[in-house]
Amino acid sequence: MSALSVLPPECLLQPFIVPKRLMLGPGPSNVPARISAAGAQPMLGHLHAETIEIMNQIKSGIQYAFQTQNRVTLAVSGPGHAAMECAIFNSLEPGESVLIAVNGIWGERAAEIAERIGAKVNTVVTSAGGYFTNEEIEQALDKYRPVVFFLTHGESSTGVVHPIDGIGDLCHKYNCLFLVDSVAALGGTPICMDEQGIDIMYTGSQKVLNAPPGTAPISFSERACYHHTGPITSFYGLRESLAILAETGLENSWKRHKEVAEYFHKGLEEMGLKLFVQDKKARLPTVTTIVAPPGYDWREITGYIMKTYNIEISGGLGPSAGMVLRVGLMGCNSSKANVDLVLEALADALKHCHKSRV
């Protein structure tokens, strides 16, 4: 008899079996076997020479993916949120003014983080599915005179890719740092940090990079120093995902994501479904938002597709909740074969799910 009052949990005494699933939501996406295998390599110490070398390789990979020569380029341990918090906390002091572009949940989230550190938060806000012109951004910079301007490159809650050109110059004209969240877009659509005058940028590992969640690439304008026992095996996975991106080539990766997304959009329109983002050039290639089919309960559609096809797609988030279905085609999941699968699943779901009379 054990003297312990809390016994070993019965559930942990059983083996655990993880089902194979096609992950076509807004993330995480599937992890290619090569990346999973990298993560299963032997553990090293965080200060061992080999780990330092892997971290240097990761740094070069991130510099390539971000298109930056910035020396302060590294992987933060944690999800995209960790990089987001790290970027905002290290670029703003309490009482300083920050301007945040809100066209979905990620701008809202950045505003909450900045408020918590006691910054003076001002926002420019547009409706879900929209984006800002450079004139609107300049007017706001002139009015609020912030030290940091935050913009989401790929707004995964609404499916919008924000234009970046010219905004870095505007920020610098007003003596302000340009901070970009490219968690849902990096590798899937063009962005060149140095050329576009971006001072701070971050992404996550679990979207186009296809690495397991847990590391978040970030590049700073010559600030910050960070040290702890890093998640070594996640570094292996991130290193391998950056190697795949380097072998593929950024331009080829952007091109493939664009072509596959356009093929998907055409298929959706042929089925009679409507895309949520009206402006074609503002459609994010990595995450497509589809207007929730009228008369249906979107939860029944996503549930049917999961149950019948073992494919994950998702509903809206934040300002798009209840309004859209979201389908992610990221990294290795960005293929015409996956588009055909998800179109077939959607068509079948529309036949079998309950349609109310409206």
CB of 152 to ligand PLP, least distance (A): 5
Whose CA is closest to 186, among 134, 257, 113, 237? 257
Size of site (CB under 6 A) for ligand PLP = 16
Stretch that binds ligand PLP, among 127-135, 149-157, 158-166, 267-275 (CB under 6 A): 149-157
CA distance 249 to 240: 14
CA distance 340 to 325: 17
CB of 24 to ligand PLP, least distance (A): 14
Stretch that binds ligand PLP, among 54-62, 68-76, 114-122, 178-186 (CB under 6 A): 178-186
Asked if 200 and 22 touch (Cβ cutoff 8 Å), the reply is no
Spatial CB neighbours of 182, under 8 Å, sequence gap ≥ 6: 153, 154, 191, 201, 202, 203
Nearer to ligand PLP, 91 or 156 (CB): 156
User: What residue type is 288 in one-letter code?
Assistant: T
Residue 216: its H or E element: strand 215-219
User: What residue type is 224 in one-letter code?
Assistant: A
Nearer to ligand PLP, 180 or 353 (CB): 180
Stretch that binds ligand PLP, among 120-128, 150-158, 242-250, 350-358 (CB under 6 A): 150-158
**Among the listed residues 25, 39, 61, 80, the single contact to ligand PLP using CB under 6 A:** 80
Q: Site mask, ligand PLP, residues 184-203, x = CB under 6 A? A: x-------------------
Can residue 84 be called a binding residue for ligand PLP (CB under 6 A)? yes
Stretch that binds ligand PLP, among 119-127, 181-189, 301-309, 324-332 (CB under 6 A): 181-189
**Among the listed residues 85, 181, 199, 240, the single contact to ligand PLP using CB under 6 A:** 181
Residue 110 has what DSSP assignment?
H
Nearer to ligand PLP, 87 or 177 (CB): 87
Nearer to ligand PLP, 168 or 188 (CB): 188
Work out the angle between the directed axes of helices 298-309 and 336-352 (0-180°, nearest 10): 120
CB of 75 to ligand PLP, least distance (A): 13
Stretch that binds ligand PLP, among 148-156, 159-167, 259-267, 306-314 (CB under 6 A): 148-156
Instruction: Give the bridge partners for 152, in sequence order.
Output: 181
CB of 287 to ligand PLP, least distance (A): 8
**Among the listed residues 204, 214, 231, 285, the single contact to ligand PLP using CB under 6 A:** 204
Site residues (CB under 6 A) for ligand PLP, limited to 85-124: 106
DSSP string of 147-202, one letter each residue = SEEEEESEETTTTEEPP-TTHHHHHHHTT-EEEEE-TTTTTTS---TTTTT-SEEE
ω before 28 within 30° of 0 (cis)? yes
**Among the listed residues 183, 218, 268, 327, the single contact to ligand PLP using CB under 6 A:** 183
| Plot region of 172 (φ>0 → left; ψ -120 to 50 → alpha; else → beta) | alpha
Asked if 296 and 354 touch (Cβ cutoff 8 Å), the reply is yes
Q: Tokens for 268?
A: 């959706």
Residue 280 has what DSSP assignment?
G
Nearer to ligand PLP, 150 or 296 (CB): 150
Nearer to ligand PLP, 77 or 156 (CB): 156
Nearer to ligand PLP, 159 or 168 (CB): 159
Can residue 81 be called a binding residue for ligand PLP (CB under 6 A)? yes
Asked if 305 and 353 touch (Cβ cutoff 8 Å), the reply is no
Site residues (CB under 6 A) for ligand PLP?
26-27, 79-81, 84, 106, 152, 154, 156, 181, 183-184, 204, 206, 213
